[in-house]
Amino acid sequence: MSLAAVLAGCADEPAQDGPIEVTRAACGAGWTAPPPGPQTLRVRNNAAVTMEVELVDPATGTVFGELEGVGTGTTRSLPVNLGNGAYALRCAPEDGTPFVGPAVTVSGGTDRPGPAVVPVTYADLLEPLRRYHAYVADGLATLAGQTESVKQAVRTGDRGAAQRAWLTAHLTYERLGAAYDAFGDSDGAINGTTDGLPGGAGDPGFTGFHRLENGLWHGESAAALVPVADRLDADVRELRSSFGDAQIDQNDLGLRAHEIMENTLQFELTGRTDYGSGSNLATAGANLAGTRAVLDVLRPLLNTRFPALKDLDAWLDRTEHDLHAAAGTSLSALDRRQRERLNGDVAELTERLAPIAAIVEPRRIS
């Protein structure tokens, strides 16, 4: 969801007579004394480069709407809802420094109806990224000890102990969901599925947690599973070693806050990632914990930018409560009412998380 979708008002009134022009030298030529209320601004890029154009408060930088990737010679529509106050356009050439055009004043209407977002800068995200990197590093340290336990249990041939150790380790990994892109190829090796593998569960490229799960819960011999467990442990240790130098992309925290639960709905609550353990609901709980970890580091930025944060927290609590109520139950053992409630919880939570990516997307403002 783009910031424009988050901020857009209902454009019940027609667009202005002529387009507002933006160039490298001028941001907002032709925009004077707009009326209050819902309307559509037509913005034409007469520069030789692609531009990002935002409608802002010239004093505070608060963003009321945006157009991303306005190409050379194109005209785009920006629906807005203008209350009383000063406004300006901020233009960001793709290869240059953002600058703010002249201010225009709206009067004769009502107070600004909102919503509006104070932009998040790259500097604002440094501390959340540092904190989340530390969270993941701690999680990987814990995971390395747990996969060692998995390996030892498989080697001793104690299938029950190996299954319990597997679940503990897998849930630890599933709590680190916002860092998967930073893990690179290691994520596929550690937590990949059979999707896209021509040989399915017997494909040599099927490794990691789910390969081991498939063997542990389908009677595969300990001798056959020892190299699988050994490789899982080695891959985790290699990831732990390399992660110290890895960087989490600035956009990933906001995006993954939403995508973790979207993936939970798509894969865990459908059973697509169950290879025998019946632990999808436990994994969904770990995913929820991973989402909370992302929100915890972003909360200082969201407190003043996301009015719906309190309602989001309430849905997190509701979803956690319902998952705990189903603890120890396989997905297939849920009755229809339980399954519908959980699907509804996670679907609604996913929707409520969606605006966060746009709100905390880092912006160039100077």
Q: Whole domain around residue 254: which residue ranges? A: 124-359
Residues 211 and 315 placed together within one structural domain of the fold: yes
Tell me, yes or no, whether 72 and 165 share the same domain. no
Q: What pLDDT, on the 0 to 100 scale, is given for residue 107?
A: 92
Give me the mean pLDDT over the 275-281 stretch.
97
pLDDT confidence band for 3 (50 / 70 / 90):
low
Q: Is the domain of 193 the same as that of 57? A: no
Q: Number of structural domains, the chain?
A: 2
Judgement on whether residues 177 and 289 belong to the same structural domain of the protein: yes
Residues 113 and 196 occupy one common structural domain: no
pTM of the model: 0.81
| 153 and 57 in a common domain | no
Query: Is the pLDDT at 232 greater than 80, yes or no?
Result: yes
pLDDT of residue 117: 80
State the pLDDT at residue 185.
Answer: 95
Please report, for residues 150, 167, 178, 202, 226, the alpha-carbon distance to residue 221 in angstroms, rounded to integers and kept in the order given. 15, 19, 35, 15, 9
Q: Please provide residue 52's backbone torsions phi and psi, each rounded to the nearest 5 degrees.
A: -105, 130
Q: How many Cα atoms occupy the beta-carbon half-sphere of 61 within 13 Å?
A: 11
| pLDDT (average), residues 292-300 | 97
Q: How far is CA 209 from the centre of its chain?
A: 23
Residue 174, domain CATH: 1.20.1420.20
Residue 207, domain member (yes or no) = yes
Q: Note the pLDDT of residue 113.
A: 72
How does pLDDT run across 76-106, given as a tens digit for each residue? 999 999 999 999 999 999 989 999 999 999 9
